[in-house]
Structure 1
């Protein structure tokens, strides 16, 4: 296998270099964003690191000869001396991503006859550079090419097509504040405590609801005190549940409330035992809506692993935080299509209750194609 690694400013540049060096049979194994070298990187500019590979077809193996056989040992010795350390490093990286490579090879076969050119190629690159998964981008652009559009119609039709992909899923959003018990779950550091305070504040101030707050995060004193402070500000009672029986008692105490919001402790998606323990709280009392909280600053592969670990909580949807800190927004599109779950809310800062909005499919797709995403104009 012939392997090349490229550090480029755009995917178009990478494609040109791959075609030049490896030819059209090459496949892209991995694409990631890295800091640009030199002063550009110092000032925050990002480059793309692209790993490409070409499976070499060696027909000479079918026709052995004496000369080749007699020089095997000499060849092996020379090979071991000349293989660069970078190749060894890349080989290790490939071994660690075997499942990803297998999927990419399968995808490459599926799309081997789908060649984009002109404006279609430009929009394919635009989607990928803004974080849309390559297989989603390929499928979308391929569908677009089958419509035989004029160049002037491509952008508007692309937006319609992308909306048609996410709209059926987004339309499944339940009436949020009509649900009595609402819980947020997710890994450490995604902003669950601040987010649940924003939701509770909006329920009180905007919706006029009678609200109770429960926290299961007994590991961080600061988180408990933070939630109690928010509760004092909006005049909402806050209770701490140290075990599942206390949780049940508090839920019964809040039985007359319009909404009960439940904050949970952050758990690593790798610690299945802790997740199982946390899930046991929900087994004692029915939670109407559970939202999985994910940060947009985390790459999609990591988000996928987190989602798999939290599936046992049966989330009704997703809440995405730190939109304002993200480099690109395609992962919002990826989340909906990959998880088949709607995004309920996005957050864009730390201010309570202001920096939260209901998710807008129209605005996120506009962001991917051209402008900034600010969330829906309507508050949560």
Structure 2
């Protein structure tokens, strides 16, 4: 595939230049808005369009603009709308297996523009390798998504140095159980001294649950109700290597509750803040969570309930990097209720192993 990048004052000007220089068979692979000047400041805004033209003549493309109609998008609208408004609908150049993948990705909640970006990168990757007869499409698709996936690695502690980690997120995603899994792993496997803090005083059961885990593992635990109590509580934990802070579940749409959380975190001064999200959530919900908890400045994300998710395509489309969204690094994934077994450091292989629903992925469509 012959690929060129064009810059113009508007999308229409860029498309016209592409048609003049590459012909009507060229397809848009990538668009973004750029600004010249020093580090993007004090400059003019341009549209940068990357177009591709296959060497073979059997492919075609439409010059009509592609509009994403993903229902219920919240954060996605903000991050995807510039791309949506400038993205050429070129899915009809896609090979037969990739067309089927596109349908499944969109059905899983992936925005059409994101699906097109992934699949066009997949086709370009295969073309670059000279694989034109039945390439392993699924493997190439997984590689394309991996390029946009950010991995944070595990929490790292040093003996004798107190490392503070807070877990935040909406209600029902499994923060308390995840805290217990992390605490058990560091206490038993890493031989670290661990202390627990909970500020989930809204749910008595959550406090009792964490107290039970603390008693079983013989860990010090403190309950905090007000910001002023945070630092004294952390000090009372003593000479521990790791402090894990469990927070109350909050609606990402409740600005007041998020502000309370931010105030508590400011008093705790955590070294890391992990946003806990459920893999079973819709793409719209995940994007709402990412937007709503942005004031908490999460440094990484933990994905729970992976065992209950039918596929990971939707969640990956919400957390991976794009031109309009830097992505959020993944630290851990959980796949069950067993403490401490059902947790592991996030890795691309596991996150992509069930990218598609089993009914489609098991076929791989490589023979089509």
TM-score past 0.5 threshold: yes
Distance 1:150 1:316 in 2: 41
Q: 1:313 is matched with which residue?
A: 296
User: 1:119 aligned to 2:97?
Assistant: yes
User: 1:362 aligned to 2:349?
Assistant: yes
Say whether the 8 Å CA contact 1:130–1:368 is kept in structure 2: no
**What aligned pairs does 1:336-351 form with structure 2 within 5 A after superposition?**
336-337=320-321, 338=325, 340-351=327-338
Change (3 A) 1:326 1:310: same
Gaps of at least 5 residues in structure 2 are 1-61, 362-368
How far does residue 157 in structure 1 lie from its aligned partner after superposition?
2.6
Q: Which of 252, 264, 269 is residue 281 of structure 1 equivalent to?
A: 264
Gaps of at least 5 residues in structure 1 are 1-22, 33-92, 374-380
**What aligned pairs does 1:137-286 form with structure 2 within 5 A after superposition?**
137-147=115-125, 148=127, 149-155=131-137, 156-166=139-149, 169-170=150-151, 172-173=152-153, 175-178=155-158, 180-286=163-269
Q: 1 or 2, which has the higher helix percentage?
A: 1
Q: 2:13 is matched with which residue?
A: none
Q: 2:39 is matched with which residue?
A: none
Instruction: Compare CA radii of gyration and give the structure with the larger one.
Output: 1
How far does residue 185 in structure 1 lie from its aligned partner after superposition?
0.4
TM-score computed with the length of structure 1 as normaliser: 0.67
3-state secondary structure, aligned to 2:148: helix
Change (3 A) 1:140 1:29: closer
Distance 1:360 1:106 in 2: 28
Distance 1:29 1:113 in 2: 13
Change (3 A) 1:310 1:101: closer
Segment of structure 1 superposing worse, 281-290 or 118-127: 118-127
* Deviations 1:322-344, CA, capped at 9 Å, x for gaps: 22222321134221335511111
| 4+ runs deviating over 3 angstroms | 23-32, 99-106, 126-133, 172-179, 369-373
> Greater relative contact order: 1 or 2 (C-alpha under 8 angstroms, separation 6 or more)?
2
